[in-house]
Amino acid sequence: MITIKELAQTVGSGVTPRMVRHYHQIGLLPQPARSSSNYRLYSKTDVQSLQRVMALKQQGFQLSHIKQMLADSPAAAPSDRLNEQLQKQYQVVLQQLVKLRQTASALEGIIGRDRTCQSSAKALAHLQWLNAETQTVQSLTESLWQQLDATTFNHPENFQEALERLLPDLSQRPEIEVDVLSHLVLACGDVSLAAFVRFSTDTIKAARENLLKGCTVVSDVSAIATALDQTRLTHLNCQTVTLLDDPHIDTVADAERTLWQDDGWYQRLNDLADGNIWVIGYSPSVLIKLCEMIENRDCQPALVIGLPIGFSHAPAAKRRLMQLKVPYLTTEGALGGGLLAAVALNRLAASLIEKPNCHCYLG
């Protein structure tokens, strides 16, 4: 048995004795045993219960939902009941994200303007209309946006200047990596994407060395092959091939349906897996199978750009990829897609041609 202070230290994650006492008060944790001196005493089971609470809390669950989830036994709470609770929590989080996204979009509309757009002192003076109480930009009126937008139609947008204002501090990242991140953000219009992109330590080195050798670039579907920069790849003597070489496959659902209905693609994957650069932007199943082959040491791709789409299989495939000893570029979660996968490869090829002697990634 341990004291409340020892319980907090054991669980960690910012837990304090005061927090534990609050959880007792609201019924989130059961009342503990007491010593002869009336001190709270906790067992290993109490430690595990608090660890579950903190794990769910760190995932964004509200305390009321955590209480419901922990109070129901598996027999009393079938899977549909748990799914109902999770869906409620998801809708709460999604509403918060929507509000934050609206605020971020408005801020991007102001901060991301280049100097030419910001030259209108009269328009910027309208920023005093911001609601001081909420400290958000939700009180920006249509009249204000008309003032701000009036200067955008007289000149082309300076994307580089906008990115410098909006992206997080990337000064410690290699120059080529920053270039790839910048173009990925421009391709999807979401600055927050930069926080979810993951490079292995040898991504850029592997890309440059193998593109310089004229390796083969393999895409999972034809739509990605169409988006690849054939001019630059031809300049580097790189060939492009497609695993599912059917131009009618233009959605994730089509790609997955084709893969699960026809086992013939396994042999083609086996033939192409080793030594090539893979650009996967649609099918989670292709990435999962490729990871399985790498784990079994059946192949060693030169580089895997793994950005398939999906809400369960794709995130799982990406996590699996990041655990392997293979050069990779991927994202956390469901973010991805064929366009982003193609943009990543195109920028790696472009940087090799434009800056062949750059060694920033070796620092």
Whole-structure pTM value = 0.77
Q: Which of 17-26, 154-163, 199-208, 212-221 has the lowest mean pLDDT?
A: 154-163
Q: What is the pLDDT of residues 114-172, one digit of tens each?
A: 666 655 445 455 555 544 444 445 545 566 667 667 777 777 888 888 888 888 889 89
Q: What is the pLDDT of residues 162-204, one digit of tens each?
A: 888 888 889 899 999 999 999 999 999 999 999 999 999 999 9
Per-residue confidence (pLDDT) for residue 276, from 0 to 100:
97
Alpha carbon of 172 to those of 130, 169, 175: distances in Å? Answer: 34, 8, 9
Per-residue confidence (pLDDT) for residue 72, from 0 to 100:
61
Query: Please, what is the average pLDDT of the chain?
Result: 85
Q: What is the pLDDT of residues 316-356, one digit of tens each?
A: 999 999 999 999 999 999 999 999 999 999 999 999 999 99
167-362: which CATH number, 3.50.50.60, 3.40.50.10230, 3.40.50.300, 3.40.50.720? 3.40.50.10230
Q: What is the pLDDT of residues 261-289, one digit of tens each?
A: 887 888 899 999 999 999 999 999 999 99
Every domain of the chain and the residues it spans: 4-71, 80-157, 167-362
Residue 363 or 156, more confident:
156
Q: What is the mean pLDDT of residues 229-257?
A: 93
Class in CATH terms, 4-71: mainly alpha
Residue 97: pLDDT band with limits 50, 70, 90: confident
Q: What is the pLDDT of residues 64-80, one digit of tens each?
A: 778 877 776 554 455 66
Per-residue confidence (pLDDT) for residue 118, from 0 to 100:
58
Residue 329 or 106, more confident:
329
Per-residue confidence (pLDDT) for residue 203, from 0 to 100:
97
Per-residue confidence (pLDDT) for residue 79, from 0 to 100:
63
